[in-house]
Amino acid sequence: MMHCRVCETKLVENIDFGPMPIANNFVEDRKSSLVDHFHMRTGVCPKCFCYQLFDQPAPEAMFNENYPFFTSTSRRMVMHFESTWHNTVKKLARPGDLIVEIGSNDGSFLLNAVADGFNVLGIEPSKSVHDAAVARGIRSINEFFSLDLSRRLKAEFGKARVVFGANVICHIPNVIEIFKAAESLLEDDGWFIFEEPYILDVLKLNSFDQIYDEHVFLYSATSVSQIARTAGLILVNMDRISNHGGSARYFLRKSKHRSSDVAVEEERKLGLQDLETYEEFASRVRTLEEQIPAFLQAAKDRYGRIYGYGATSKSTTINRYCGINNRLVEKIYDVTPRKIGTYAPGSGIPVRSFDERVEDNPRCFVLYAWNHKAEIQEKEREFTASGGVFVEFFPAPRFC
Ligand code: JHZ
Ligand code: ZN
C-alpha cells in the first residue's frame, strides 16, 4: 500500500526498517520466533499528515488466541484506567448508560464502570485477553469492531453514551469504517474517546520503537480531525497524557457539536504539518540504529552480561532493526506468564521469569519497558542502590 489510507494521496516514504517479525509473536520454538513476516516501512501523507505503515500483516495474524499483552501487568496502567474512568469518562455519562470499549483487553478499564453500575460491553478480537475479561465478569464480544458489528450491537443493546478505546485505534487499518461504526453506535450527545501514543512525543523522544506491525498509524490532532470529518464526527478536544512515553487523548462528538482547532493549530506551529519534521526524525532514527548496538556492546564489556527488562512489543523493533541478539542480550525478564519460556521475536533472546534473576545476578538491565520507568525504578530501588544500572535508548542511549 503506497497511498494514504485516509485520503488516498501518495505517501512520502519516511523510514525503511527492513524485514520484521510480528512484534508480539512470543513463541516457544526459537526458529519460528526468528521468522520475518513483513517489510516494515513508514510513510507520511503530504496532504492529511497521517503517519502510517506501508504494509501491515493481516489482523488475524496479530490478534488471536495467542495475543500475550495483558493490560493488568502494569500496576500503574491499572491505576491510570481507574482514574480515566472516574475523572473523565464517568463524568460524561449517567448511571445505567451503555459504555462500549473497543479493544477492551482483560477488562482493566471496564471493571471500573461495572463497579459503578454502568452497562458495559467490551469488544476484543484476541481470545486470550477476551477470556481473561470474561473471567472477571465483563461482558465481552470476541470479534473485530466493524460497521456490521456496530449495527448488530445497536439492535441488541441500544446506543452507547461513550465509545472508548485505549491503545487500539492506531492498530486498525480501515480507520474510516471504524470511525463511522463508532458514530453510528453513539447517542446524539455521546462521546467517542480514545488515547494512544502521540506522534509529537515519538518525534521528540526519537522513540521509533512505537512503530511495529500493530501500530499501523501514529496519530495527531491534525490527522484525527480529518478522519473524524469523513465519518460525521468532529474533534472537540485533545489532552496530552504521560502514558507510553507520551500519549494523546482525543474527544470526538457528532458533527452537530462545536469543533475546536486549538490542538491542530498548536501542531502546525510545532511543525507536524511540515514534511521536513518527519525527514529529520528519520535521520535521527538512522543514527540510533548505529548507536544502540554500540552502546549495548560497551555496556556488556563493562558489566559482563546484560539482561532485558520487559519483553515489550516495542523491543521487537529495536532488536530486529539494530541487529541485537542473544549474544548481546542474555535474556529478557518479564512477569507475563504467556511470555515466560518463549523467545523474543526477531532476536532469539530467551524470555524468562524474574525468578531466575537471583541466580543470574544481573548488574545491567536494558530497559525495554522504558515507558514504565517510574514504576520499575520504584520496584528496583535495592538494585540501583547496590550499583545496578539501567540502559535507556531515548532520546539517545545512556545509563540511568
Ligand atoms: P508495555 C503493548 O505494547 C501492546 P508493549 C499494544 N500494541 C500497545 O499499543 C501498547 O501496549 C500500549 C512487562 N513488565 O506496556 C509486562 C514487567 O515484566 O510497555 C509487559 O510484557 N515488569 C497493545 O508490549 C511489558 O513489560 C514490570 O514491572 O510495548 C510491558 O509492555 C512492568 C511494569 C512490565 O507494552
Ligand atoms: Zn492522507
* pLDDT, mean of residues 305-328: 98
Q: What is the pLDDT of residue 1?
A: 59
What strands lie across the sheet with 186-197, from one edge to the other?
A: 140-141, 119-123, 98-102, 160-166, 186-197, 247-254, 233-241
Contact between 179 and 170 under an 8 Å Cβ cutoff? The reply is no
Q: What is the pLDDT of residues 180-239, one digit of tens each?
A: 999 999 999 999 999 999 999 999 999 999 999 999 999 999 999 999 999 999 999 999
* Ligand of minimum distance to the alpha carbon of 273: 2
The single residue listed with the C-alpha cell 506522534 is: 199
Phi, psi of 166 (to 5 degrees): -125, 125
Percent of the chain with pLDDT over 90: 99
* Ligand of minimum distance to the alpha carbon of 50: 2
Q: Whose CA is nearest to atom 18 of ligand 1?
A: 334
Q: What is the pLDDT of residue 336?
A: 97
Distance 261 CA to ligand 1 centre (A): 33
Q: Which residues pair with 343 in a beta bridge?
A: 27, 350
Residue in 73, 130, 168 to alter for ligand 1 test, most ligand atoms within 8 A of Cβ = 73
Q: What is the pLDDT of residues 267-303, one digit of tens each?
A: 999 999 999 999 999 999 999 999 999 999 999 999 9
Give every CB contact of residue 5 below 8 A, 6+ residues apart in sequence: 50, 52, 173, 174, 175, 176, 216, 217
Q: Which residues pair with 251 in a beta bridge?
A: 193, 237
Which residue stretches of the chain are H helix?
30-33, 59-62, 75-84, 110-115, 127-135, 147-157, 175-185, 199-205, 221-230, 262-269, 275-303, 313-322, 357-360, 373-379, 381-385
Distance 71 CA to ligand 1 centre (A): 8
Contact between 169 and 175 under an 8 Å Cβ cutoff? The reply is yes
Q: What is the pLDDT of residues 78-94, one digit of tens each?
A: 999 999 999 999 999 99
